[in-house]
């Protein structure tokens, strides 16, 4: 099995807050991420595909194919946005975990699966000390 990972960067802001919690509870749950005006991150997204390289070319998949999928499904939608303003976060807090799940759904919906290569995982780094990984195996869009 061969794995290929592509890295992409985007910037977005969010506020971690639940209306049903009082201010003290929001502070306990979300800490400094509950600031009234939100805050931003320079996210790093890694998308990994897995499979067997083409026997003729030795290439697993064109990196440009992964890049195009990520640009279309993720970057065009999320880069330089306030995540709380997006419909998918109307009823859901835009934590790194929830953001990774939403990104995984978008990528799986855009990925053009082949018999040789499958989506394997994504890793979303919010800060140098906070990252979430998501197993994408079995979530390909066009199997």
- Mind telling me the catalytic residues? 33, 80, 126
The C-alpha angle with vertex 121 and arms to 44 and 11, in degrees rounded to 5, equals 20
Residue 50: partners with Cβ closer than 8 Å, 6 or more residues away: 1, 2, 3, 4, 117, 118, 120, 137
How far CA 91 is from CA of 17, 87, 122, in Å, comes to: 11, 8, 23
Cβ atoms of 16 and 94 closer than 8 Å? yes
| Adjacent-strand bridge partners of 82 | 13
């Amino acid at each position: 099995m061969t794995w290929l990972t592509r890295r992409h960067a985007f910037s977005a802001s969010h506020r971690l807050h639940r209306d049903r919690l009082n201010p003290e509870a929001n502070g306990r749950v979300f800490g400094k991420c509950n600031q009234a005006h939100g805050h931003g991150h320079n996210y790093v997204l890694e998308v990994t595909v897995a499979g067997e390289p083409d026997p003729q070319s030795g290439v697993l998949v064109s990196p440009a194919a992964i890049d195009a999928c990520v640009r279309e499904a993720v970057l065009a939608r999320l880069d330089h946005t306030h995540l709380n303003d997006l419909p998918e976060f109307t009823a859901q807090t835009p934590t790194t975990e929830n953001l990774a799940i939403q990104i995984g759904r978008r990528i799986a919906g855009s990925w053009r699966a082949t018999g040789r290569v499958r989506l394997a995982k994504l890793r979303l780094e919010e800060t140098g000390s906070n990252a979430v990984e998501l197993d994408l195996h079995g979530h390909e869009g066009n199997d």
